[in-house]
A and B are shown apart, each in its own frame.
Chain A
Amino acid sequence: MDLDRKFLLLLSGSPLVAFALHAGLSRALRRFAPQSAYQGVAGLAVLLGYPALLLLAWGFVFSRVRFETPPIAALVYGAFVYSGLAFAYVQVYNMSETSRRIHILTRLSKGPASAAEFSEKYSPERQLAIRLERLVSLGQIRLEDGRYALASKPLWLIARAMDGWARVLGYPSRAPKGA
C-alpha cells in the first residue's frame, strides 16, 4: 500500500483514536472522580487525539518519506479531517448523554412504555435541574444570589448561531425577544 493511501486510511480511522482515549479517560474518571463533567472528558480526549494521531502518522507514514520541506499541507489536511470526524464523534457521544430522542429509544429498547411516562420523566423541573447543573459544571453559566447568568460566551454564541441557522432553514426562531 502506498503512503498516500496509508495516510488516508489512518485518518479515516482517527475517530477510533478519540474513542479509545475517551474510553480510557472516562473509565479512569468514573473510578477516581465520579462527580466530574463527562462532556468535558470527551473534549479532552479529542484534544489528546491530535498528538496521538501525529505520532501514529509519523510512525507509519511521514518517517518513511524524505521531505525537502516540512509536510505542512499534509498536517493541516490531517488536522481538518480529524477535527471534523472527532467533532462528529463528540456529537454522537453528546446525543447519547443529552438527547431526549435517544433516551426515549433506549428506554423503549427495554420494552414498551406510555407517552405519559416520558412526560412525567421529562417534567420541566427535572429538565431544568439537569441542564442547569450541567451548564454550571461546564463553566458556561454561574449561580449568584439565586440567579443564573452567563459565565462564558462560546456556547451562548453557538446557541445564537444555531438559532440563526434554523431561521435560514425556515424554522421559527426560539430565542426570547432581546436575545
Chain B
Amino acid sequence: MELDFRHAFTHAAVLFAAGLALHVLVWRRRRPDRHLTALLFVFAIPGAAFVGWSGAAGVSTTQVAAALLLYAALAVSYIQVYPAAQASSPTLWMLLVIGASGGKGISETGLREQLASASMVRDRIDDLVRAGLALEDAASGRLELTPAGRRFVSPFILLRSALGLAPGEG
C-alpha cells in the first residue's frame, strides 16, 4: 500500500477545522434559513479548495480521496449532530434539567412544569416550512408535504422499513 495515512489525517483535520471555523463565522454573522443546505455548502468549500490546491501541488488522486473520505466522515458526523444544538432537543434538555436537580432528582410534575413553557411543535413546523419541506395554509392551518419534503423523508421511511420497524414516535 502506498497511501500516506499521516498526510490523510493532517489534511482532513485541517479541512474539518476550516469547515467548523467557516460555520461559526457564517452563523454568528447571519444565520441561514435553510440550515442543512447551508451547512453542506459551508463544509463543501474547504473540500473544493483542497481539490483545487492538490491538483496544482501534484498530489495523487488516491491520496486526495483518502483525505476527503476522512473529512467527509467527520463532516457528516458533525452535520448529523448539529440539529440537536440548533433546535433544542427535548431529550438533551430533559437531561440538563434532571442533571441540574442534583442527587435529589426531580418529579415528573416538576419536569412537566418546565416542559410546558418550551415550544414543542410550533418551532419544528416553522423550520419545515422555512426549509421548503412543508407548506402551511395560513387560513386553515392545513399542512402538506412539498416534493422536496417527500424526497427528504423517503430515505427515513425506507430505512425503518428495511429495519422492520414502525414509524418512530418523534
Binding site for B on A (CB under 8 A): 2-5, 7-8, 11-12, 19, 22-23, 26-27, 30, 38, 61, 65, 71, 73-74, 76-77, 80-85, 87-88, 91-93, 95-109, 111-116, 118-119, 121-125, 127-128, 130-132, 134-135, 140-141, 144, 146-150, 155-156, 158-160, 162-163, 165-166, 168-171, 174-179
Contacts and interface: CB of A to CB of B under 8 A. Distances in A.
Interface of B: 1-3, 5-6, 8-9, 23-24, 27-28, 31, 62, 65-66, 69-70, 72-74, 76-77, 79-81, 83-86, 88-108, 111-112, 114-116, 118, 120-122, 124-125, 127-128, 133-134, 136, 140-145, 149-150, 152-157, 159-160, 162-165, 167-170
27 contacts: A3-B1, A5-B62, A23-B164, A73-B6, A77-B9, A77-B66, A84-B72, A84-B74, A84-B76, A96-B159, A98-B91, A98-B168, A100-B120, A100-B121, A102-B156, A109-B149, A109-B150, A109-B157, A113-B142, A115-B121, A118-B143, A128-B108, A132-B94, A141-B95, A150-B99, A156-B95, A177-B100
B96 A174 contact: yes
B94 A131 contact: yes
A163 B81 CA distance: 12
Contacts of B8: 77
B162 A23 contact: yes
Given A115-B143, A150-B98, A127 B120 contact: yes
Contact of B168 (A99, A109, A171, A178): A99
Nearest to B155: A92
A15 to B, nearest CB: 9
A118 B170 CA distance: 11
Contact of A130 (B1, B97, B128, B169): B169
Contacts of B102: 149
A145 B97 CA distance: 18
Given A88-B76, A113-B143, A114-B142, A125 B66 contact: no
